[in-house]
């Protein structure tokens, strides 16, 4: 198993296992099979409501804490009554009585652990800088080994870099052959921020695969040449870019296939063929709308300008908020 060394020296398995939307009835069998096949990095989140399931599965199967790398994520939904209302002005988001510190601690309690290997901010909410400073505190106490972000675009990252004590170790975001994210990947690597791919094969709220990727006619000949599936070829395409991958499946055969990508390699022309499929836009969630937490100078990014021109309908409250 290849490891990626994060910017603080922590080593992270490059091939991990995603857990979102795995039903409770299949969770134990799926995770235990993945562990037995060699997966050692497991990706969960407070919002997935399965942190405790993961801890219980490890306990039932005698998995030692030091033998697995656990990633979890901090989510703003836990700070508001009826969850955080995305893209709306703050008057629609009524804070509950829970602190950010307490919400982080809930993940520790759910995971039944004294430390977390990697803790991410799940989304660039307006309060993400406050979240980051709380994570920095846990990191400095030695309770978190590395801290990072998820779904952050270049201006979110730049604002964070300009205002943090501890640089993010990783950015987890959507990457696929149809959304290659070359600009964002290059920015991360130029700042020594590791890259982790998510939502490569399916919508993040669905277990159904995107057939335009899993049955892609351009990738199929490459897969046949190597005697691999299209999914394995795409994972290898990411792997050769030093991108961390966390494929998710409950299919026993696919669990085995997804970790079996180290016995072949793609040549330069094959990598370029897959790169050429890029459509230049997100297939799933759209973080371009998350601008409210950024000072004006960070909102001048060209990507935001294009998004705002294409999505002119905004509430008066949002417009007033963005003027500050």
pLDDT in tens, 230-257: 999 999 999 999 999 999 999 999 999 9
- Whether the per-residue pLDDT at 74 is higher than 90: the answer is yes
Residue 107: predicted pLDDT = 98
pLDDT of 315 strictly over 80: no
Contact 100, 43 (CB under 8 A): no
In the chain, the domains with their CATH numbers are: 3-322 (3.20.20.100)
pLDDT tens-digit profile of 84-102? 766 555 667 788 889 999 9
> How confident is the prediction for the chain on average, in pLDDT?
92
Distance CA 148, CA 213 (A): 28
Q: What is the DSSP string of 39-96?
A: --EEE--GGGT-HHHHHHHHHHTT--GGG-EEEEEE-GGGGBTT---TTS-GGG--B-
Asked if residues 240 and 272 have their Cβ atoms less than 8 Å apart, the reply is no
Q: Which of 23-32, 162-171, 245-254, 277-286 has the lowest mean pLDDT?
A: 277-286
Of 35, 39, 48, 288, which residue is the catalytic one?
Answer: 48
Given a cut of 70, whether residue 319 has pLDDT beyond it is no
* pLDDT, tens digit, 9 for 90 and up, residues 138-150: 999 999 999 999 9
Q: What pLDDT is attached to residue 51? A: 98
Tell me what pLDDT residue 80 has: 86
Tell whether the model's pLDDT for residue 72 goes beyond 50.
yes
Question: Which pLDDT belongs to residue 281?
Answer: 78
**pLDDT, tens digit, for every residue of 185-211?**
999 999 999 999 999 998 766 778 889
What is the largest distance, in Å, between two alpha-carbon atoms of the chain? 57
285 among known catalytic residues: no
* pTM as predicted: 0.93
As a whole number of angstroms, the distance between CA 86 and CA 289 comes to 9
Measured distance CA(119)–CA(101) in Å, rounded: 13
Pick 80 or 124 by higher pLDDT: 124
């Amino acid at each position: 198993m290849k490891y990626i060394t994060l910017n603080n020296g922590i080593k992270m398995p490059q091939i991990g296992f995603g857990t979102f939307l795995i039903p409770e009835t299949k969770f134990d069998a799926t995770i235990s099979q993945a562990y037995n096949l060699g997966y050692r990095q497991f990706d969960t989140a407070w919002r997935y409501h399965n942190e405790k399931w993961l801890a219980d599965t490890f306990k039932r199967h005698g998995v030692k804490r030091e033998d697995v790398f656990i990633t979890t994520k901090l989510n703003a939904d836990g700070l508001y009554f009826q969850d955080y209302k995305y893209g709306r002005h703050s008057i629609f988001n009524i804070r509950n009585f829970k602190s950010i510190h307490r919400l982080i601690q809930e993940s520790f309690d759910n995971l039944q652990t004294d430390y977390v290997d990697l803790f991410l901010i799940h989304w660039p909410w307006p309060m993400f800088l406050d979240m980051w400073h709380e994570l920095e505190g846990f990191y400095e106490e030695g309770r978190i080994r590395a801290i990072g972000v998820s779904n952050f675009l270049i201006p979110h990252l730049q604002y964070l870099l300009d205002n943090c004590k501890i640089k993010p170790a990783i950015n987890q975001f959507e990457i696929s052959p149809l959304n290659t994210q070359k600009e964002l990947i290059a920015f991360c690597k130029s700042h020594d921020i590791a890259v982790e791919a998510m939502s490569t094969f399916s919508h993040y709220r669905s277990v159904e695969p995107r057939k335009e990727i899993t049955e892609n006619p351009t990738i199929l000949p490459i897969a046949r040449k190597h005697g691999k599936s299209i999914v394995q070829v795409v994972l290898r395409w990411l792997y050769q870019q030093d991108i961390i991958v966390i494929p998710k499946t409950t299919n026993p055969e696919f669990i085995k296939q997804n970790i079996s990508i180290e016995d072949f390699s793609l040549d330069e022309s094959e990598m370029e063929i897959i790169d050429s499929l890029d459509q230049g836009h997100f297939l799933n969630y759209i973080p371009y709308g998350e601008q409210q937490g950024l000072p004006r100078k960070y909102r001048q990014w060209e990507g935001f300008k294009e998004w705002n021109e294409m999505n002119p309908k905004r509430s008066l409250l949002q417009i007033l908020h963005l003027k500050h």
